[in-house]
Amino acid sequence: MTLKLLLKSITMMAKTALLGILLMPLFSFAQNLYLNNNLATENLLDSHYISKYQKKIDTHRIKIELNHVTGIASFYSANLDSTLTATGEVFLNKRYTAASNIYKLNTIVRVTNLRNGKSVLVRINDRMHSNMLKKGRIIDLSQAASKRIKIRSNGIERVVVDGLGYSKSNPKRQ
């Protein structure tokens, strides 16, 4: 009886070890993917704007760490289509873009809705009105991006924004 249990135990250990060996490349790939998408070594925050509007930042609602900001997101009005952005391009609500005074222009950021966990990649191509920081707002999303993360109909949602890198082109449909 004990020999049978010993053989069964060895078989289970062998299966577990084999499964670990087979899954290790997947874990490694997932970890590299996560690390490559979080460029925590390079500061993507716009320190000029942050220091300029330091007195306006609502520190009860906005938490700023290196490339990681928690606060409130809103979305652009539909009537702002075809206006010029801070980068000089024409704004379209169907693109994955956003306005922020905290990140540098042309920064790619991941915006995660804290209510439902949904996230979207957007490029910062515009600036918000400085008074938005008083209201705890850290990012103003295009309507396409806000629909992707399912921002409530009242137009504001608590989010986390992670800086990933720079790009002159917008993220594609996700």
Could you give the maximum distance between any two Cα atoms of the chain, in Å?
80
What is the fold of 47-166? Barwin-like endoglucanases (2.40.40)
Contact predicate 145/96, CB 8 Å: yes
pLDDT in tens, 160-173: 999 988 877 767 65
pLDDT value of residue 121: 93
Q: Are β-strands 63-65 and 68-75 bridged in parallel, bridged antiparallel, or unpaired? A: antiparallel
pLDDT of residue 4: 64
Pick 48 or 87 by higher pLDDT.
Answer: 87
Provide the residue ranges of all domains of the chain, joining segments of one domain with +: 1-36, 47-166
Tens of pLDDT, residues 88-136:
888 888 889 999 988 888 889 999 999 999 999 999 999 888 788 778 8
Q: Which residue has the tokens 């920081």?
A: 133
Separation of alpha carbons 97 and 146, rounded Å: 10
Q: What is the pLDDT of residue 9?
A: 64
User: Cα separation of 97 and 112, whole Å?
Assistant: 14
Structure tokens at 108: 């790619």
H helices, E strands: number in the chain: 3, 7
Which pLDDT does position 17 carry in this prediction?
56
